[in-house]
C-alpha cells in the first residue's frame, strides 16, 4: 500500500495529482499545515518536516521530484514518465524539476502574504522581486509552449506526462500571486490540463492555505 502524507495547497498536491493519474491503490493522510509537522513521528518520515512524505512497502520517501521519478519509473515509465533513451527523456527531467524553481518563489510569496500576519513584518521589495521571478518562469513555459512544432499541446512533443503535472501544480500555486494575462499559451495549456479528473480530485476539500483567490503586490501602487 502507498500512503501519501499531504497538506492541501502545498507541494504534496503534486504527488496527489500524480497518484490520481496512476493505476495504483493509495491512501492519503492529511496533515494540518502547522507545527505538528515538526513532531518526532512525522520527522521520521520527512526529516525537514515538510510535505509530501510517501510510505511505500516499508520504505519512506520525501522530495517531490524524487517521488515523481520513482513512481513514474515503477508504475508508468512511458505514459506519465519517459524511459531512459527515449527522445523526450531529457526534456521530461528538465520540466519535472523546473517545477521546484517555480515553487521556491511561490513559497517566498506565501510566507510574505500569508504566514506573516502583520504588515510591518512584510517586505514590499521581496514581494515584488519574487512575483517578477515567477513572471520569468512563466516566460520560460510560454516560450516552450509557443515553439512551432507539431502537437505542442503539452510540455513534451510526445504528449501529456508527469512534467505537465509537476509544472501545472506549480502554476496552480503561483497563480495566487501572479496572473497569466501576459502568457496566453500558458493559460491555454493550464486550462487544458486542469480539466483532467485527476487534477480536480487533487484540489482541497474545504479550506486550504490561501483565503483569497489572488494576493496583489503590497502595497498596491
pTM of the entire structure? Answer: 0.95
- Residues 84-125 have pLDDT tens digits of 999 999 999 999 999 999 999 999 999 999 998 888 899 999
Please state the rounded mean pLDDT for residues 182-211: 94
Residue range 2-75 forms a domain whose CATH class is alpha beta
Fold of 89-202: Glutathione S-transferase Yfyf (Class Pi); Chain A, domain 2 (1.20.1050)
How large is the angle between the packed helices 12-21 and 162-174, nearest 10 degrees?
140
Query: What average pLDDT does the chain have?
Result: 94
* pLDDT number for residue 93: 98
Percent of the chain whose pLDDT exceeds 90:
88
Every domain range in the chain assigned CATH 3.40.30.10: 2-75
Amino acid at each position: 500500500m502507498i500512503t501519501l502524507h499531504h497538506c492541501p495547497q502545498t507541494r504534496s498536491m503534486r504527488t496527489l495529482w500524480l497518484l490520481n493519474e496512476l493505476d495504483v491503490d493509495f491512501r492519503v493522510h492529511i496533515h494540518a499545515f502547522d507545527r505538528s509537522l515538526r513532531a518526532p513521528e512525522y520527522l521520521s518520515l520527512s526529516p525537514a518536516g515538510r510535505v509530501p512524505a510517501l510510505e511505500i512497502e516499508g520504505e519512506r520517501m520525501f522530495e517531490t521530484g524524487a517521488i515523481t521519478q520513482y513512481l513514474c519509473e515503477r508504475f508508468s515509465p512511458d505514459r506519465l514518465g519517459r524511459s531512459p533513451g527515449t527522445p523526450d527523456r531529457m526534456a521530461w527531467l528538465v520540466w519535472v524539476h523546473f517545477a521546484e524553481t517555480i515553487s521556491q518563489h511561490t513559497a517566498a510569496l506565501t510566507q510574505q502574504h500569508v504566514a506573516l500576519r502583520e504588515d510591518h513584518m512584510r517586505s514590499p521589495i521581496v514581494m515584488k522581486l519574487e512575483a517578477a521571478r515567477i513572471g520569468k518562469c512563466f516566460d520560460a513555459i510560454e516560450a516552450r509552449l509557443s515553439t512551432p512544432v507539431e502537437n505542442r499541446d503539452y510540455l513534451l512533443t510526445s504528449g501529456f506526462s508527469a512534467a505537465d503535472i509537476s509544472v501545472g501544480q506549480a502554476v496552480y500555486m503561483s497563480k495566487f500571486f501572479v496572473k497569466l494575462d501576459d502568457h496566453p499559451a500558458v493559460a491555454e495549456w493550464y486550462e487544458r490540463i486542469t480539466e483532467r479528473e485527476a487534477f480536480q480530485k487533487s484540489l482541497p476539500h474545504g479550506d486550504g492555505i490561501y483565503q483569497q483567490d489572488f494576493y496583489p503586490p503590497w502595497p498596491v501602487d
